[in-house]
Structure 1
């Protein structure tokens, strides 16, 4: 007579259930077309062109993707047309990235973004980006990669590794929504550009509400990043007048004078950054911006006497002046554009008593704001510089 443990039957039932569910799930996936990337362009008047990259589930094939492009008045209309061109039902549960053309971004993208918000299958961590040109050209690019991969995954990883490396500001759907709905801060999104059959990040799109106003070049991203986030991995190189460092440049009788650069360039990275914005004059709208950096000197185009503490202090002083100038110029540029990606409006509202000002009211005040910028950089490591 066989003896069974009292838990044998439940275990058998659980295993059977898992096997059945697994078979059903696999069968369902094989009938679905997973949209991993979506691009949107203006197409004539009152119409948009939607281009999607679809990943087909097939455990045997290495990679099965399809690109479908259609024209309609709404994103829902696009989906209906795209389904007519697919032998699988299209779903957005695996959407990784949305790309909006520059032309469309300049007119406003909130209606299309709102479609993502209303889709319960789309997660908040989807990346939003702007194309330098048409979005469809990026969706249809033939990537020259060692192994064929899904474009949606490739673009997602392009953004993610630069967010993780603190080169750009995270552009998730959740963050765009928060900054768009916040009267005291404006959204920013990375710009994608095609370069030699590849896609690169060419800058940052500055938004006033949901409309793209201007482009922030890559060399300026560092300064915006240190104002917005705690920064631990950013690298920056700055050019200086060589004459300011004449006293600390090491000279050797065996070394000929260098003429490669007409400036002295120094490269450094951040070990730790802490920025603070404080409203110091409510009536005249004056802000104090404190930026503290602990940095590591990585490279210089001239041999410097880093064993001398006074030399290190001189370098710190020159970096302080250069960083301060770039931050002040950047803030003045934002004012002229009437964009506030830093969030000075939030600091103003935190001290405001009474009804919170509207976005329009804040923009009018923001035009006349003053900024006192204080930069304190401390070089904590010098490494080896030849």
Structure 2
């Protein structure tokens, strides 16, 4: 009886293995030499009702070892179509290899798409299982095509300059906002938090990127663009800043502070029969990076005091600007809903509170050193 059971188990395992072999034989796997990798996807609006989308695919061409390569080698496929899916199907007929989206880490939307319903325009990227949800999102100015076809001289063969910028592996800057595809969609749909996306600009010769601005999606139509300084302030308050500079010019002192540590805590207070208050405490630490005058180390407390006062003024003005434009990229509304559960419709309540919210900002800046000047 035991021998019969063992034979039955062996027979069952053999049948499972045969079935798996038969099923795998019909899969769509292709060898790597039969595929070509898409490193970035661009999408522009054509203003043509029948073919509103212009899809741009940036393809990496293998060129041997990086040592033997003289520069980055890419090819581009473009197609205008009624839908993104149709454009991709047609572009497959323009090349002899299978288009592989597994390495598409960059999605650039043209500036002319900002007036459209972004939720519908990105539907294609969300439904395809081979496009990563951790792909970076950005707005291309003036078009996504010009941004993707920009190849900086610093870009090495087999790499992509935009990957280094948004991953933080290469450059580190307090002016660069990083937005992932999954987070962009979440912010578009989530009440109480507005989506924010970086803007990529290029020079006329298309030899370099300029990324120091961002745009906040107020709703499906209206957008609010942040200047370079406002983008830096957003990164400071959101905790995403790697390096932030603080300019201090007061009472005969003129120096720049490089802040490497920022901690932000806040809470929303709604006392009965009183104006609601957002109480925010900010702690920053840094060193003096540049000064037009000698800075004796004995006056470190004075430098810290001036830096705190100016930072408080600047960040409070930034919060009031967001409030005036009725945008909330920092997610104050989401925090309010999570901490006030006395009613079901907390978001409607927040929309009534936000325009009248008072900001009580406290900034404590610590200057750790005046630099290495002897």
1:57-91 Cα offsets, whole Å, 9 max, x none, are: 56579565310111112211221221122222223
Equivalent residue, structure 1, for 2:308? 320
TM-score by length of 2: 0.81
- CA distance in 2 between partners of 1:147 and 1:25 (Å): 32
Q: For the residues of structure 2 that align with 1:114 and 1:354, how far apart are their CA atoms?
A: 33
**Counterpart secondary structure, 1:106:** coil
1:269 to 241, 258, 280: 258
Residue 200 of structure 1: how far off its partner (Å): 2.2
Contact kept? 1:116, 1:122, Cα under 8 Å: yes
Q: Could you tell me which of 53, 62, 66 is aligned with 2:58?
A: 53
Alignment of structure 1 residues 171-186 onto 2, 5 Å: 171-186=179-194
1:225 aligns with 2:241: no
Matched, 1:39 2:48: no
Structure 2 residue aligned with 1:81 = 90
The Cα of 1:175 is off from its aligned counterpart by: 2.2
Aligned residues: 337
Determine the C-alpha separation between the residues in 2 that align with 1:162 and 1:220. Answer: 24
For structure 1, list consecutive stretches of 5 or more residues without a partner in the other structure.
1-20, 246-263
* 1:290 corresponding residue in structure 2: 281
Q: Name the residue aligned to 1:156.
A: 163
Q: SS of the counterpart of 2:40? A: strand
TM-score by length of 1: 0.78
CA distance in 2, matches of 1:371, 1:292: 16
Whole-angstrom distance in 2 between the partners of 1:163 and 1:40: 26
Q: Secondary structure at the match of 2:168?
A: helix
1:27-176 pair list within 5 angstroms: 28-46=31-49, 47-57=52-62, 59=64, 62=69, 64-145=73-154, 147-149=156-158, 153-161=160-168, 165=172, 167=174, 168-176=176-184
Q: What secondary structure, in the 3-state scheme, does the structure 2 residue paired with 1:367 have?
A: helix
Distance 1:87 1:192, change over 3 A: same
Cα deviation, residue 180, structure 1: 2.5
SS of structure 2 residue aligned to 1:315: helix
Q: Distance in 1 between matches of 2:370 and 2:300?
A: 9
Residue 156 of structure 1: how far off its partner (Å) = 1.5
Gapped regions of structure 2 (runs ≥ 5): 1-23
Q: Verify: 1:192 aligned to 2:197, yes or no.
A: no
2:291 to 300, 304, 311: 300
**Aligned residues of 1:345 and 1:362 also touching (Cα < 8 A):** yes
The residue aligned with 1:13 is: none
- Could you say what the CA RMSD is over the residues aligned between the two structures, in angstroms? 2.8
Task: Tell me, in whole angstroms, the C-alpha distance in 2 between the residues paired with 1:355 and 1:89.
Answer: 50
Partner of 2:10: none
1:370 matched to 2:358:
yes
- d(CA) in 1 for partners of 2:349, 2:88: 39
SS in 2 for 1:349: helix
Post-superposition offset of 1:26: 10
Q: Deviation digits for residues 302-349 of structure 1, max 9, x if unmatched? A: 11222x2xx222212211111111111111111122110111112211
CA deviation profile, 1:62-121 (whole Å, cap 9, x unmatched): 565310111112211221221122222223111010101112023232223222111111
